[in-house]
């Protein structure tokens, strides 16, 4: 079973809707981190170029990644600068700390 990591950086206001929608497609775990940064179009006239976003990280089986990415894009997209990005990254190995075993979710 192939495992992928889906990392999305989105606007903070979409997190609640994203959490609800991910539950409907049987995503049962994710990590959410508040982050600051800038992308291709930073506000060079501001004292601080960075903006607040949220990073969402989800481990998923490869066959579920397309549906997961589509869901994130559907929820996060408003068609404006700052909507965010989504990356799909291969996972070489996956370990459970509690049991100290290598596993797949």
What confidence tens digit (pLDDT) does each residue in 13-38 have? 999 999 999 989 889 899 999 999 88
Assign residue 25 the CATH number of its domain.
3.30.70.120
Domain of 78, in residue numbers: 3-39+50-84
* Number of independent structural domains in the chain: 1
pLDDT for 41: 73
Q: Which regions of the chain does DSSP assign to beta strands (E)?
A: 3-10, 31-37, 51-61, 84-90, 95-96, 101-102
Q: Flag whether pLDDT at 42 surpasses 90.
A: no
Asked whether residue 103 is assigned to any structural domain, the reply reads no
The dihedrals phi and psi of 96, each to the nearest 5 degrees, come to -100, 120
98 part of a folded domain: no
Q: Residue 104 has what pLDDT?
A: 60
Reported pTM: 0.88
pLDDT at residue 1 tops 60: yes
Residue 101 located in a structural domain? no
Tell me if 83 sits within 8 A of 11, measured CB to CB: yes
CB 58 within 8 A of CB 29: yes
Quick check: is 45 in a domain?
A: no
Residue 94: inside a domain? no
Task: Identify the band that residue 7 occupies on the pLDDT scale cut at 50, 70 and 90.
Answer: very high
Q: Does the pLDDT at position 95 exceed 90?
A: yes
pLDDT, one tens digit per residue, over 47-77 is 888 889 999 999 999 999 999 999 999 999 9
Residue 43: its pLDDT value, please?
A: 73
Decide if 39 contacts 87 (C-beta within 8 A). no
């Amino acid at each position: 079973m192939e495992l992928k990591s889906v990392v999305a950086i989105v606007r903070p206001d979409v997190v609640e809707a994203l959490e609800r929608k991910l539950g409907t497609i049987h995503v049962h775990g994710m990590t959410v981190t508040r982050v600051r940064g800038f992308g291709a179009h930073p506000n060079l006239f501001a004292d601080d170029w960075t903006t607040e976003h949220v990073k969402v990280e989800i481990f998923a089986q490869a066959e579920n990644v397309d549906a997961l990415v589509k869901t994130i894009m559907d929820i996060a997209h408003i068609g404006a600068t700052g909507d965010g990005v989504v990356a799909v990254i291969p996972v070489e190995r996956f370990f459970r700390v509690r049991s100290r075993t290598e596993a797949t979710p």
